[in-house]
């Protein structure tokens, strides 16, 4: 109860100072910052008295941060549904394998799990059971990469791939942006590919707050990523 009381007191103080509030956005999607910028810019223009803060790491995870009122919205590809939270899908994407243009896998029509048995797989530092390349592709086929490395930043991951230091799983829209400047290629994972969605989770009680509702609307309208 205490975090809710503190949250209410903060809102009341902001209203008394002529502000509307602060929208605190938590990120469980490492490569989504470029997309978030497309959302935040028009949002700030529409809500001049609402501040935006972005938080990437949580002591108890994103869902816990929502429940504890540490954040007001959670951007995640893997929603954990609990009573009191509502998740809105905001865009679809395909998860692909990114390799150097000269890599033998670059000529494959699609990637099979066994193709990664001799590869260094680079991912973001996320638990394996929440990495789709493992949970939806490698583990069901009882395969594993030769080595698994973790790197926090998208730029460094793709620079490593461009230098033939490993392969990485990325959203196709993000990989294609880097293909303009780096010698990398994107290949579908499996014959049918791996389709994913990005969701924004908020507390159900906050859906009546106008600037929260509008954030969801703008996020959905920014689904065309270029």
What's the pLDDT tens digit per position in 2-37? 666 666 666 566 554 444 578 999 988 877 887 888
b/e string for 203-217 if b means 16 or more Cβ within 10 A?
Answer: beebeebebbebbbe
Query: Token pair for residue 116?
Result: 């990664």
DSSP per-residue letters across 7-42: HHHHHHHHHHTT--EEEEEEE--GGGHHHHHHHHHH
Rounded Cα gap, residues 216 and 214, in angstroms? 5
For residue 160, give the H/E element and its range. Answer: helix 154-162
User: Under a CB-based contact definition with an 8 Å cutoff, are residues 119 and 113 in contact?
Assistant: no
pLDDT tens by residue, the chain, 226 residues: 566 666 666 656 655 444 457 899 998 887 788 788 889 999 999 998 888 998 876 544 678 888 888 899 999 888 888 899 999 999 899 999 999 999 999 999 999 999 999 999 999 888 898 899 999 999 999 999 999 999 988 999 999 999 999 999 999 999 999 999 999 999 999 999 999 999 999 999 999 888 999 999 999 887 654 4
What's the pLDDT tens digit per position in 140-166? 999 999 999 999 889 999 999 999 999
């Amino acid at each position: 109860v205490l975090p809710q009381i503190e949250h209410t007191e903060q809102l009341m103080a902001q209203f008394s100072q002529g502000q509307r509030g602060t929208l605190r956005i938590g990120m469980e999607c490492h490569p989504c910052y470029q997309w978030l910028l497309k959302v935040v810019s028009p949002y700030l223009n529409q809500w001049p008295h609402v501040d935006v803060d972005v938080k990437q790491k949580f002591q108890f995870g994103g869902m816990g941060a929502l429940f504890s009122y540490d954040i007001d919205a959670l951007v995640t590809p893997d929603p954990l549904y609990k009573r009191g939270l509502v998740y809105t899908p905001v865009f679809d994407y395909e998860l692909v394998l990114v390799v150097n243009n000269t890599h033998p896998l670059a000529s494959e029509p699609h990637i099979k799990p066994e193709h990664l048995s001799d590869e260094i797989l680079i991912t973001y530092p996320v638990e394996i059971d929440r990495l789709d390349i493992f949970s939806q592709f490698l583990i069901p086929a009882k395969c594993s990469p030769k080595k698994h490395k973790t790197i926090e930043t998208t730029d460094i991951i793709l620079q490593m791939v461009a230098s033939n230091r490993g392969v990485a799983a990325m959203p196709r829209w993000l990989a294609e942006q880097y293909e303009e400047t780096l010698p990398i290629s994107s290949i579908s994972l499996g014959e049918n590919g791996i389709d994913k969605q990005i969701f924004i989770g908020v507390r159900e009680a906050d859906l009546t707050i106008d600037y929260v509702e509008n954030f969801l609307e703008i996020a959905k309208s920014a689904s065309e990523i270029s």
